Structure 1
Amino acid sequence: MALRIRKSIKIAPGVRINISKSGVSTSLGVKGATVNLSKRGTRITTGIPGTGISSSKLYGAAKKVSAPTPPTPLWAHVVTWLVIAAVLWWFFS
């Protein structure tokens, strides 16, 4: 289970500064509709207060680009098949 630590500071009615181990963000809004601005992008959350029903969408998130995985070399496939053949030969002999 992950541990989350967060501190929210009220600046003005409807304006909050949120501080966590992942960074700082700003929240604007009222109960039922909030806009959060952070390094991850802009998150808009709407809901029905008191029911636990809500919807959230992240806009403008930076896409993580992963390094392409290099192809497996041919010798690795050959070695794998030789090991499988040796095990089968040992098992059935």
Structure 2
Amino acid sequence: MPLTFRKSFRILPGVRLNINKRSWSITTGGGKDGPRYTRSSTGRRTTSMDLPGPFGWRRTRTTRRH
């Protein structure tokens, strides 16, 4: 099993800085019943939101900047 590096820092309420071996990203939102937006240094943009229901479903939409 390979070793991985990943670290997440809370820089403001509702804002996180995520760092891994190849890139970094900023995540905002994700409060109670709200969407979470992530923008990566590689150009990846992700919007995710937890859907209501007993099973913890999550809907995620990812786009890449060209």
TM-score (normalised: structure 2): 0.73
CA distance in 2, matches of 1:16, 1:2: 26
Larger helix proportion of the pair: 1
Q: How many aligned residue pairs are there?
A: 62
Q: Percent identity?
A: 29
Residue in 1 aligned with 2:16? 16
**Which has the higher Rg, Structure 1 or Structure 2?**
1
Mind listing any 5+ residue stretches in structure 2 that lack a counterpart? none
- Supply the AA of the counterpart residue of 1:52: G
Pair 1:3–1:44, CA change in 2 (3 A)? farther
Higher relative contact order (CA 8 A, sep 6+): 2
Mind listing any 5+ residue stretches in structure 1 that lack a counterpart? 64-93
- 1:6-60: per-residue Cα shift (whole Å, max 9, x none)? 111001111000000121100010244210001132110111378421011112x
TM-score (normalised: structure 1): 0.54
Pair 1:4–1:45, CA change in 2 (3 A)? farther
